[in-house]
Structure 1
Amino acid sequence: MSVFEYAVLRVVPRPERGESMNVGVVVHCRAVDFLGCRLHVDEGRLRALDPALDLAGVRSALHAVECVCRGGDEAGQAGGESPGSRFRWLTAPRSTVLQPGPVHAGITEDPAAELERLLDLLVR
């Protein structure tokens, strides 16, 4: 069993209204050097929150999250950092359309399976 951390990613189309929709989960497990994310975007529901939402911008921001999770050159400067540093970067508070929720912890035997479970529980 290993300790893991996770955060929900949410789209906040109009921050002044405070409405949001969960669109993904990021999981980090230091013990096995795991960092992963899974995304699920219901564009119809997002349009219901804000018909003028820039969905291409949301897709681009989510692609950047996937790149940072994978690491490497495509992630820019963050790509060379450790999985834990990249997780902290992804979960740092920000006031943009794509925002991380608070970081939570748990215990798991399989961080990848936990990622799928959390996506089903918190996003889908």
Structure 2
Amino acid sequence: MAARGGGGMTASTRLAYQYVVLRCVPRVDREEFLNVGVVVYCQSADYLEVAWEVDRDRLAALDPGLDLDQVCEALTFVEGVCAGDERGGAAGAKPPGQRFGFLKAPRSTVLQPGPVHGGVTTDPARQLDHLLSKLVT
């Protein structure tokens, strides 16, 4: 995962943020999924980051034929979009708000974003870690 920064905010600054949980949906027709990552976007801190963890055994239990390396490649693409680098292709070249918009858009692929949620935090990076441990691991 990429390094995370706090954008120079003080500890008492309360920042609004949005997040989506990334779901691995091995068979869209069965509507079964496993949470594999979280994307947090905080406009005021210029923060867009993903954290993810793939539980290969649990995913294989949902679909033994699932290409787990492809799931990890898709999550690496999301990292590139968040970082704004070449791994994110054309989407990575956009401003952070547009990159988050791209990542939160519904799609019918193996890796899908859940609904957008929001909150307030003093530290977006710490919030990302908290959401990952609460919703994924």
Do the structures match in fold with TM over 0.5? yes
* Residue identity (%): 55
Query: Which residue in 1 is equivalent to 2:3?
Result: none
Q: Which runs of 4+ in 1 moved over 6 A?
A: none
- Match 2:72 to one of 59, 62, 86: 59
Query: Which residue in 1 is equivalent to 2:40?
Result: 27
Normalising by structure 2, report the TM-score.
Answer: 0.88
Q: How does 1:1-124 map to 2 (within 5 A)?
A: 1-124=14-137
Q: 1:76 & 1:56 partners in 2: Cα distance?
A: 19
- AA matched with 1:118: L
Residues 75-105 of structure 1: per-residue CA shift (max 9 Å, x gap): 2211221111101100100000000000001
Structure 1 residue 72: Cα displacement: 2.4
Cα contact 2:79–2:87 (8 A) shared by 1? no
Cα contact 2:76–2:87 (8 A) shared by 1? no
Structure 1 residue 60: Cα displacement: 1.1
- AA matched with 2:118: A
Q: Which moved more, 1:69-78 or 1:91-100?
A: 69-78
| Alignment gaps of 5+ in structure 2 | 1-13
- AA matched with 2:87: E
Q: 2:43 & 2:25 partners in 1: Cα distance?
A: 29
- AA matched with 2:58: R
Normalising by structure 1, report the TM-score.
Answer: 0.97
- AA matched with 1:96: T
